[in-house]
A and B are shown apart, each in its own frame.
Chain A
Amino acid sequence: MSQSNDVDPIRYEMFRHRLFNIAEEGRIAIQQVSGSPAVVEGGECMSSFYDRDGTVIITAAGLLLHCTGCQDAIKKTIEWDQGQTGIHAGDQFFFNDPYIAATHVYDMLVVKPIFYNGRRIAWTASMMHTADTGGVLRGGATEIFHEGIRFQGIKIVERGEFRKDVFRNIVEQCRDPQYVGLDLKAKIASNNVCAQAFLKLVEQYGVGFVEKAGSKIIADSEKMARAKLRSLPDGTWRSRIYAFSHGDGKRKLFKVVCTMKKFGDEATFDFSGTSPQNNDATNCSLPCSWSSFFNALAGFLFWDVPWNGGMVAPVKLIIPEGTVLNCNFPAACGLGPATGGTLTTAAQECITKMLYAGGHYDDVNAAWCPAKGGEFRRFGGKNQYGGVVVQQIYDFFANGLGGTPQRDGVHTGCHVLNPQSKISDVELIEMNYPLLYLSRNQVKDSGGYGKYPGGMGMERIMIAYGTQDLTDNYWPPHGIPWGHGLFGGYPSNTWEQRFFHSKGLKERLAASEYPTGFDDITRSGFGEPYSSDQTYGRIPVKEYDFLADRAEAGGGGGFGDPLDRDPQAVLNDVREEVVSLQVAAEIYGCAIDPKTLILDDQATTIKRKELFAKRRLLAQEVHYYEDNGMSGD
């Protein structure tokens, strides 16, 4: 008989349901209080419960990335205390050190022990992404010391008393103290809501039951995770993903390599072969890699298993030290979550192939576009009301999703970080930030081509508006597609972030003219692209200058051979501006009259035969990962 019989199954179910609801209430509280677009619109926040030793029991998370993060902070707090009882009822500890917990300094978390009758029985925690830590403006860091404040468990609330002095010392080190302060308060509020509700539960069920039930919740997840693994075929699967870093003024390719071995009810993900750490902020600390790994597991393999410490128990993660996925202190890691996205995608690809082999077609998606190796647009300066602003706009949460064995990928659907991804309304962005959008639309040809293509991504054109004081970060245009194809499907398109000096735009706006596509800007003479020999830099932005991103949100990978796609579906794609006529002809082999948009079936059959024949001429011997000696370095 299993241990679980110690806990009455009926009371257990009632308790579990209540506990999850309480965590949800905490998360609702955070989102309602926060001033951060990433939190409120992007859902980047979490509230959760842990057992007395800090193992996570239940999380209500907007961001999968955050599920495991606070566990490490709690365990460290207990370890450092060494039983000296410096941990009191009513304390709350503030952390943002990615070498201890979470993914980068911008993940700020507050943990709170819960005491009952003088004894510590559990913990609650809340975490959210707060984009301002002071430090050098983003992208310039080479050591974590450049990345602003870094706290390792300072008491922001002590025995129930809010420490104004500590609060002031934290927020005043940041450029936008109001914003940081509001978010910090939100976390404290959420912990209070959760702890109070938890204690009510203890009164109702008794402390012994609560502790046992907590252990069972963790054990249950482990059982479900193992059962799932058992139901899948054994084997070894591999994947590799490339990305860029910009350390030492050089643009450098690095690779993330994943070998997944699954046997029985356990699996190992080994990232040996991954490139050494970079001399910029594109590194993941180990906690960051764990969080990114959790994303892939929770999102695609264990989506039906309650997300907690038990879920990851049957899975091993191996990452050599000194690599970009397990950097040594004091490497900078501000862009860790973005590099972590490559880990997520690499792991997803292995998992997906295993699921396909096991016949779980409903669970199979070609790659979702994960992240861009860190190359986000982050602006700073003054807003239209004269206040300080340091932000980024999370439009990349509307990535296209991968094609599947049964249907096309979803257009502008989601980000792998967050099952409930959302982007802001343009109106809300413009009311708060010194930007004016001229366009935000889906991008034709951005999904990976395939029998079932990946979903389209999204592009945007913004101008600086209402400010004379703004800088933006510059990245050279990118050359690697992110959403990989599966079984003959193409990858999604590449991403390109550009900055353009505008020419006479104000006058042309007044004459009802403006660019609505990325290529329009230069083609119609609206602006000149900025270019630089440097790999990275902050550049001053004048009012009406363009900030434009082609596929700011990337497309998904395609599934299967595009020449197997139903020609009628291709025709429909052309009509709905999903693919261009050129792609329909050259990739899909469809003969469509450009004027009438009528499909010629016979000509299509012939064209496809020709394309197959052409491919045969290009065929080469297959090189496997082990022996081709290919290197990304």
Chain B
Amino acid sequence: MAKKQYIIGTDTGGTFTDIVVLDNDGNVIVNKSPTTPDDFSEGVMNSIDVIVDDMGISKEELLRHGIMFKHGTTVGTNALITMTGPRVGFITTKGFEDTTLIMRAIGRVDGLDAEKIKHMAAVTKPEPIVTKTRIRGVRERVDYAGRVVVPINEADIRIALKSLIEDEKIEAIAVSFLFGWVNPVHEQKVKEIARQMYPDTEIYYSYAHELVPVVREYARANTVIINCFLGSTMNSYVSKIESELNENGYQQPMLIMQANGGVVNRNEMKPISTVASGPAGGVIGGKYFADILGHKNVITTDMGGTSFDVSLICDGFWQFAREPVISRFRVIQPMIDIESIGSGGGTIARVDPDTDRLLLGPQSAGANPGPVCYDMGGTEPTVTDADLVLNLLDPDYFLGGRQKLNRQKAEAAIVKKIAEPLGLSLIKAAAGIHDIVNSYMSDLIRKQLVKAGQIPEGFVIYAFGGAGPVHCAAYASELGVPEVYVFPSSAVFSAFGIASSDVIHTRVSSHRYFMPVEPDALNTHIQNIEAELILEMKREDFQEDQIEFRHTFFLRYRRQMNELGVVVPTRQYDAEGIQDVIDLFEKKYDEVYGEGSSYPEAGIELISTHIDAICKTTKPKLKTYPQAKDDPAGALKGEREVYFAGKKQQYLKTNIYDYAKLTPGNKFNGPAIIETPVTTVIIPPDRSAQVDSYLNISIKV
């Protein structure tokens, strides 16, 4: 028998730290341990203790045979939410010291939902990370073409550094000048002088031309500032875990999850890239299954207690957010595009007294007090209460019976707050809540598809989260998506995603090529970036031939202010190749905005390139189970009258199955319900479902 090898993935979430271990026989072991907000590393080490117990081996044995330790953490996100971090100073072009305070005005509403934004008199800007007293201007100026208009004033640099370091006692300095991404010579001068003046002082520096050589000075400044703000916190956190792992026998590199969907060696980690990496895990988990199941286009959906998250995998790859906002700050970072609305199990339903409208959310009862049926003091009816009244949920087997549900209280709340004001029966009111939340979710999915220029018919929906499998068949059918998958065995999808993630380094860079660009100019540009990425990968012990590149070009018609991303094949360009890029762009443009809306007479420009270097890591080999008989009768645990909303609007006798007893090949005709210890899978009437050889359930909509 081959030597045991383990891939370990851990993910620190708000409540739990998830852990998953994959061994080289394809076994997948998952568990969790409470998150420890005072010192997140404790929770991580605890989760290891928990899982080695399950496996019946020692911590040392697990870690010694660990070939990869991948870790997703909320430490960065958390530091931003609580605004705890070092004192950061910011050096920028003189005359533009207020750029991060002005926030392009849009900073007043960035990160807020539409309802909040409408309340114009009440919306304010967030507190700045760098206050005015710690911002310094240096006389210098580079123009849009990279020409030096004002040579940098070295005396200004010295004064700025001295006053920030000696008077303001700052611990980190962010540096970003106008057009530093075109010509970095002035930022490099600051670096040089800082090294001369303070060779021994421990200050964390971030330079925009190194971290984010991309147009748009406001978001770029935020990016370097946040990177500084998280720098020391992230580094000391990672060092702490690393040394504990090493003490217990782990000898391989520690890999840190990033929001771009890949992991990175902790030595190459950019602190800001870890922010919002948690939700990315779910999408990567989705992509892992998409590869196995052969789905090119997938909508991943995650319906939890308070929110509903959507992201798209198109042509086998996830999408990146256009103008991502971290906390309330607009940044430039390759981050998986995940859209969210306040639609979860705990989302509250209410009737507007003036118009008799039935409205859902975004308010949520959360986990505490939770839905009325939790019997923990909640009084406002929620989606979960409605699902219970419809008999979609079993009050004695919610979360495997760990949470008893009080049906009478749920009924009473819906009668009083919804049914009576609207003049509806209890069951119609409950069905209404169920239908409306489904339509909100399908609207969000549709909006994401429109933005990406896609149509629902070519997609498969993956549903996770506790409430996802209860609702997914309904929102899929509203959209016209033909197939839905639920993954009852992968309860900790996010950690699973992290464990299966690849090492990815991304370089986004701005420029301006008027098309058709001279092929060699583009070739040189790409070669330079790839050479940098190859160096980085080599530092992570990968060989050049292990690296896969992925190119996304952003183009637009000249005079436009927004660009469209096109994935192009990696190649050496000649004139014909350039024309192919143009054709791809024009085709995509027509797809997204409709034929006839393009304006080729204006000319086309290539505005930025996004290059990913990907090194594949060992993947979990999922266990397959032999196909057995079609008939799931062996798993039948009972039946109940269930009210189906949507077009049906009636009670139907429905078989209830125990997921644990299902075998591959089992087929169901709706209506049917499959209960697992973590969720309930609804197969509506007139739909069919099947258990696949990985014990996933696919529903044909």
Contact = CB atoms under 8 A, between A and B. Distances in A.
Contacts of A181: 599, 601-602
A178 B557 CA distance: 11
Given A182-B560, A398-B104, A510-B150, A12 B357 contact: yes
B432 interface: yes
Contacts of A13: 357-359, 432, 436, 439
A410 B95 contact: no
Contacts of A188: 596-597
Residue among A21, A25, A420 facing the most chain B CB atoms (10 A cut-off): A420
B interface majority secondary structure: loop
A439 to B, nearest CB: 3
Given A182-B559, A516-B94, A29 B153 contact: no
B149 A425 contact: no
B122 A362 contact: yes
Nearest to A39: B561
Contact of B125 (A410, A431, A509): A410
A442 B132 CA distance: 11
Nearest to B132: A576
B139 A220 contact: no
Interface stretch (B22-30, B210-218, B304-312, B494-502): B210-218
B633 interface: no
Residue among A179, A192, A404, A412 facing the most chain B CB atoms (10 A cut-off): A412
Contacts of A414: 105, 108, 120, 123
A458 interface: yes
Contact of B561 (A9, A41, A227, A465): A41
A18 B443 contact: yes
Contacts of B216: 425, 427-428
A9 B432 contact: yes
Interface stretch (A232-240, A296-304, A585-593): A296-304
A532 B91 CA distance: 40
Interface string B402-442: 00000000000000000000111000100110011001100
A419 B117 contact: yes
Nearest to A506: B149
B648 interface: no
Interface in B142-166: 143-144, 149-153
A577 interface: yes
B571 interface: no
Nearest to A24: B447
Given A398-B102, A427-B179, A304 B95 contact: no
Residue among B139, B512, B601 facing the most chain A CB atoms (10 A cut-off): B139
A9 B104 contact: no
Given A514-B150, A576-B133, A426 B594 contact: no
B97 interface: yes
Contacts of A224: 352, 354-355
B144 A35 contact: no
Nearest to B560: A35
B699 interface: no
Contacts of A576: 131-133
Given A430-B143, A431-B512, A514 B95 contact: yes
A28 B596 contact: no
Contacts of A425: 104, 215-219
A14 B512 CA distance: 44
A232 B436 CA distance: 33
B562 interface: yes
A297 to B, nearest CB: 12
Contacts of A223: 354-355
B593 A29 contact: yes
Of the four ranges (under 10, 10 to 19, 20 to 34, 35 or more), the interface on chain B belongs to 35 or more
Contact of B105 (A412, A432, A577): A412
B119 interface: yes
Interface string A141-166: 00000000000000000000010000
A365 interface: yes
B137 interface: yes
Given A14-B435, A40-B561, A512-B140, A439 B96 contact: yes
A557 interface: no
Contact of B355 (A4, A37, A513): A4
B491 interface: no
B121 to A, nearest CB: 4
A436 B560 contact: no
A18 B450 CA distance: 13
A440 interface: yes
Residue among B121, B132, B151 facing the most chain A CB atoms (10 A cut-off): B121
Given A35-B557, A362-B122, A25 B447 contact: yes
A439 B95 contact: yes
B104 A362 contact: no
Interface string A34-47: 11110111000000
Contacts of B118: 303-304, 419
A523 interface: no
Nearest to B125: A410
Interface in A289-348: 299-300, 303-304
A442 B109 contact: no
Contacts of A583: none
B564 interface: yes
B591 interface: no
A38 B470 CA distance: 45
14 contacts: A4-B356, A29-B597, A33-B593, A40-B560, A223-B354, A224-B354, A224-B355, A363-B119, A410-B125, A420-B117, A423-B106, A440-B96, A442-B101, A513-B150
Q: Which 4 A-B pairs have the closest CB atoms?
A: A439-B95, A35-B559, A422-B106, A189-B597
Given A32-B562, A363-B121, A436-B149, 15 more contacts: A12-B357, A28-B451, A29-B597, A181-B601, A182-B599, A220-B357, A362-B121, A413-B125, A414-B120, A416-B120, A419-B118, A420-B109, A423-B104, A431-B215, A576-B131
